[in-house]
Amino acid sequence: MEKTQRLQRYKDRVCLVTASSTGIGKAVATRFAEEGATVIINSRKKENVDPVVKELTDRGLKAVAYPANVSNDKERQAMVAFIKEKYGKLDVLIPNAAINLHFGRTLDTSPSQFDKTISVNLKSVFLLVQECHELLTKGTKPAVLLIASYLAYQGENFLGIYAMTKTALLGLNKVLARELQEDGIRVNCLAPGLIKTTFSKDLWDGREREAVDNLKLRRLGTVDDIANATSFLCCEDADYIVGETIMVGGMITQRL
């Protein structure tokens, strides 16, 4: 869908979406660009972010590449410094980067796998919000959206530590929402269900019919489903939604 067919809810806004060269991150960044934002496209490697920026700018959208490993302090802090120097503010922050290094019995997770998963999925999220705080206070109706998962609520065989980090984000959302609302920064969390991406392939590849049978909507989620929710939660239309975790999962799980 072309930019002219979207509401321009993010005109003159600056948005950082980490891990935005593929999958959910790319779809979310694309939606913000279509709605008028300047988006910073981030991934670890330059060769991954440059094609996305070209794809967007060829459509007349605003996008800038910044390759950085968000779990590397120097690289992450350099990215924040770049945003400060170039734009002087940040309106939307979506720390989307996440990894899963072990697919199997949770107690078979190695210490290095455990530490690295915590570093990327949880610690880097906290540090990025911390380091972007000043820039967000200078933004217009600034918003932070954490990306958890349906696994935060029900776990999953073979994805124990990954699921644990996503559960931790639910708690981080609650405490940050309370604290940062005093600075005019709105914090929420989004929990995708089973979205058909390369990252989630181990959960649906070869057993898609079984997976779909567990969903009331009888289909796997798409990255556009997540982009739809994300663009709403970070705009003024959602001003009275704070500290919530929104499940986008085709009724994959129910909560009281």
Q: Which residues are catalytic?
A: 162
User: Rounded to whole angstroms, how far apart are CA atoms 20 and 34?
Assistant: 15
| Selection from 232, 98, 217 nearest residue 152 by Cα | 98
Give the list of residues 6+ apart from residue 168 with CB closer than 8 angstroms, or none: 122
Q: What is the 3-state secondary structure (H, E, C) of 70-94?
A: CCCHHHHHHHHHHHHHHCCCCCEEE
Burial pattern 181-202, b for ≥16 Cβ within 10 A else e, equals eeeebbbbbbbbbbbbbeebee
Burial pattern 2-32, b for ≥16 Cβ within 10 A else e, equals ebeebeebbeebbbbbbbbbebbbbbbbbbb
